[in-house]
Amino acid sequence: MKKLLLFVFFTISILNSAQNPVHFRLHSHNEIQDNQEGINYTVTATYNLIKSALTQIKDTVVKYQAKWNMQVESNFIKACLINDNAFSSSTDFLQASDSHSLIEVDPHGHMNTTQGFNYNPNNYADLAHLLDSCGLTPARTNVGGFLYKDTDWSNPASEDWTTWKNGLVGNAYPGYTWTPTTLWGGGTPGHTNDFNAFGVWRPAGTNSVTFGQNASGNLINIGNGCKKWAIDDTTNITALYNYLSSYINYCYSAPTTTATFYTASATMNFRGFLSNNGSTIYTPMIDSVSKFLRKMNTLKTAGKIVYENLTETRTNWLALHSVPTESFMIQCVNIVLGVNENEITEKGFGIYPNPATDQLNVLNTTGNPLINIYDHKGVIVKSQNVELQEVKIDLKELSPGIYYIKCGNAYRRFMKE
């Protein structure tokens, strides 16, 4: 009976499968907390260094024709005003970046009215106003990274995103009102319980349940993908690419409906491009971004990702789904692919990459040396005794499709391309 159910499920999956390219982009943030790291962007020498580093990133984005949503806090915007004469120059860094067809500049903020290193009287409306002052063409309507729930929204008029659809009044500039259309982020304080998901929907509320529900009258949210997709100075780019590629291959080949619309991004932080308290450019970080985009170009060429900025993604979604009750959302925790460290600990083995082509890597700590691979009918198509904890299984003789690998009493599902 189990074999029959497995066959029926596989058949239905194939009948409903379609190519679902992922709407993908780079995101970057700078933070008020950069000051605490000794990085003061208003200092001319520091500003010139970060501007040089970001220009190199821009050149790489152009080389690979990627898309970049540059999301900036008040300290960087004010540095641009001070050091780049942004209020009167058309060639300042922020305006020049936003004018480029591959780059979109958004506000990113966390207001903090407590005096100290992280004091920040600017809410999102204030940041939009400051960007206007830099000569950027209004209106920017993307909320670039926000807290979808918080333990203390002491000033809900400024911090509670559920009210922003009606217009947000500035805190530092109360004469200015900003009305966003699109959310991106879904973070929590300390990033301890972020909402990591693909898709486009209109979140209903401010907790982990209601945020994932669609409410037709609310702002559109564009899912960022998964938390681990961050580029910093410690990132193993090959591992990141393999991990991310597994999810994107899943999205590309997963069963589809008329609402299917996968979205994802990789993030980076400005302070990662500087070292020694902002006194030098950190070249390895710049090289990491270049290496990442070079690898992602493989997925772009294969048609498995489409580079878009947030505004383009919103426009493309609405062109297909003009009715506000339509939505698509799938959380990362509901997709299990590749090597999962918790599963290896609990069940004793893991696999990667997934999908696989010519070979599958197996991590086996079960103590059981026998590995069996089953096809969709439950028939063993390959058996192998493994003597090492990590082995490579040759898949060349297997036809493309869904398979199951068993070690001990545990199973893993994988796709052979």
Question: Tens digits of per-residue pLDDT, 43-52?
Answer: 999 999 999 9
Question: What's the pTM?
Answer: 0.78
Question: Tens digits of per-residue pLDDT, 155-172?
Answer: 776 788 999 999 999 999
Question: Tens digits of per-residue pLDDT, 272-319?
Answer: 999 998 999 999 999 999 999 999 999 999 999 999 999 999 999 999
Round the average pLDDT of the chain to a whole number and report it. 86
Three-state SS annotation for the chain: CHHHHHHHHHHHHHHHECCCCEEEEEEEECCHHHHHHCCCCCCHHHHHHHHHHHHHHHHHHHHCCCCEEEEECHHHHHHHHHHCCCCCCCCCHHHHHHHCCCEEEEECCCCECCCCCCCECCCHHHHHHHHHHCCCCCCCCEEECCECCCCCCCCHHHHCHHHHHHCEECCCCCCCEECCCEEECCECHHHCCCCCEEEEECECCCCCCHHHCECCCCCEEECCCCCCCEECCCCCHHHHHHHHHHHHHHHHHCECCCCCCCEEEEEEEHHHHEECCCCEECHHHHHHHHHHHHHHHHHHHCCCEEECCHHHHHHHHHHHCCCCCCCEEEEHHHCCCCCCHHHHHHHCEEEECCCECCEEEEEECCCCCEEEEECCCCCEEEEEECCCCEEEEECCCCCCEEEEEEECCEEEEEEEC
Question: Tens digits of per-residue pLDDT, 90-125?
Answer: 889 999 999 999 999 999 998 988 888 788 999 999
| Residue percentage of the chain with pLDDT more than 90 | 55
Question: Does residue 40 register a pLDDT over 80?
Answer: yes
Question: Does residue 208 register a pLDDT over 80?
Answer: yes
